[in-house]
Amino acid sequence: MTDTTTKTPQALIPLPAKAARYGTAAAALATAASTFLAWTWTDEFPGDLTVTGYPGGLQVLTLIGALLTLLLVLSGLGTRGLRWLTPGGSTAPTLLFALGTLGTTGYTMGAISASLGGTANLEPGAWIAGITALATTLLALGIPADVKDDEATRPWARFRNTLKAPPARPSATTLPAWVEILIIAVTFGIALYVFTYGIDTEYGELFVGYLILVLFGGTALTKSGLITRITTLTNKHRTIALTAAFVAAAAFPFTQTNDTYTNVAANILVFATVALGLNVVVGLAGLLDLGYVAFLGVGAYAAALVSGSADSTIGVHFPFWAAVLTGAGASLLFGVLIGAPTLRLRGDYLAIVTLGFGEIFRITMNNLDGQSGPDVTNGPNGIANIPDLVIFGFDFGETHTVLGVDLGRFANYYLLMLFFTIIVVTVFRRAGASRIGRAWVAIREDETAARAMGINAFRLKLLAFALGASLAGMAGAVQGHIQYSVTPDQYVFVENAPPNSAFLLAAVILGGMGTVSGPLIGAALLYLIPAKLQFIGDYQLLLFGVALVLLMRFRPEGLIADRRKKLEFHDTGQLDIPEQTSLPGTATTAPTKAGA
């Protein structure tokens, strides 16, 4: 009997494996070389891409993408010292970096043509870059996939199979502890550089190219298994990793020459800290809160009223620590008052009630103007002229020279906000790992089952609500001093720029519910994108909705997912029941899946 079964090619484009890899390497090298040529004839396009001899602007991103593609190809060829970069296989990450380089280069060519009036404004260097980037991608499609799948017969199925990667292999050698710590330090140093580059982008086109490369690059590093390997090291040296992360964050102001982008970073920290507080409510306890920004406003107003502002109707001036405690205490009180009658609701009903609370807070602050109600908050004008902080003689409103670097007002507040972020991260980690945290997770997964096991669900949900509210109030106390004023229109559901309730919830979901780093990354992305891409103003919510739909389709667990979410949203094979070996005279039990 003739076997007519044919093996499906493991590459989308049938090429000899070595030829495909060497061709990809050569094309990536050519793409990198093309960035040293002029891409346009006029410096009217931002970044001045007219210079021959060194890259500038968006050319730098193409150069980085091409060199990283080359590095991964060499890793796939077994080059000594580079195999450590791809413990999960090199095909998928190589293709993803090639696609990111092609996307950045293609976007640059399109942006030049659109802003200058046609493709006639492209110099030969741009065409060479586009052609070689396309060749890199096509040749990368000829590299055999890391995961074999004989059922992938159609082109789209074979392309998706090329993007699959097997689980990362454990390191064959045990590294000395000092080497592992050095790797952690270098990793956070690179992360600081990438974050700083994104904040320091001076125009929208450069930030779009940065987003394209970071999106594909981050996915590529995840597929390569390198992120998993780094995560293993950080879990092994958890305290050192957290210290390195905050040291890298504290170094950010020292990389800036002025306060323009430090202001952005300070507001990102406020947004991220509030998102981490919401993560207690949503990520751990599973309570859908759509009015969480109101607790930020309660803390900001309470601290502003006792800050010594000339516009304060109370006329008192507390020390900063007392003002922070006032803001956190006021938010905690409101959390208990709002949570006590409403937390007996679940799901959508709770979401509607909390959304109403957020709007009631904003309207109430508007009406406490002396005409519609008592004169407490100055109505729509809010509380302005909040003085700068002075702690132990250190005036946060003045420029100070530290280690030879001038730190301006926003750099001072950035470092102060980083201190409060450390407090919130510590509280979140301790709470999540405690007995109460495990009870919150049990309530989130199945409240009825948790009650049956003896958990007082209402009391623990109220505790989560109060803790999340107090953390938001603490951040609000600092926010009021950073912005000099608090007004009701800062605390809405979605109309203005972040932080607002919709974007806070999105930051938690985008980053990864129940994790520490997830909301921090999600908040940074959701604050930076509207701040940098102001030209999308009218389409901001449309693009935001499209991004959420794509996220729910391709990565519902968020960018940084814990183990529980990975098991919930993806078939990992851990629930498979192994095939039973039949005994003589008995039928063979077919393999099944749990829950089938």
| Domain residue ranges in the chain | 17-231, 256-564
Mean pLDDT of 29-33: 95
Strands 576-577 and 592-593: antiparallel
- How far apart (Å, rounded) are the C-alpha atoms in residues 586 and 363? 74
Average pLDDT score over residue span 13-31: 88
Contact 500, 494 (CB under 8 A): yes
Helical H segments across 317-376, by residue range: 320-342, 347-367
Query: With pLDDT > 90 as the criterion, what percentage of the chain qualifies?
Result: 22
List pLDDT tens digits, range 336-388.
Answer: 988 888 888 887 888 888 888 888 988 988 888 878 778 888 888 888 888 88
| Long-range contacts of the stretch 361-368 (C-beta < 8 A, 24+) | 361/291, 361/294, 361/297, 361/298, 361/491, 362/294, 362/297, 362/488, 362/489, 362/491, 362/492, 363/488, 365/297, 365/301, 365/488, 365/491, 366/488
pLDDT at 589 over 60: no
CATH pick for 256-564 out of 3.40.50, 1.10.10, 1.10.3470, 2.40.30? 1.10.3470
Smallest CA-to-CA distance from 580 within 572, 570, 591, 569 is with 591
Q: Which helix (H) or strand (E) holds 395?
A: strand 394-395
Q: Mean of the pLDDT values across residues 15-43?
A: 91
Average pLDDT rounded to a whole number, residues 52-59: 90
Could you read off the pLDDT of 263-300 as tens digits, one per residue? 888 989 998 999 998 998 888 888 888 888 889 999 99
Residue 76, classified by CB atoms within 10 Å of its CB into exposed (0-12), middle (13-18) or buried (19+), is buried
pLDDT tens digits, 467-520: 999 999 999 988 888 888 888 888 887 766 667 788 888 888 888 888 888 888
- Higher pLDDT, residue 232 or 106: 106
Q: Which residues pair with 402 in a beta bridge?
A: 405
Identify the pLDDT of residue 38: 93
* CA pair distance 136, 31, nearest whole angstrom: 8
- Supply the pLDDT for residue 88: 79
Give per-residue pLDDT as tens, 293-329: 889 999 999 999 988 888 888 878 888 889 899 999 9
Q: Are 224 and 165 in contact (CB under 8 A)?
A: yes
Confidence (pLDDT) at 178: 86
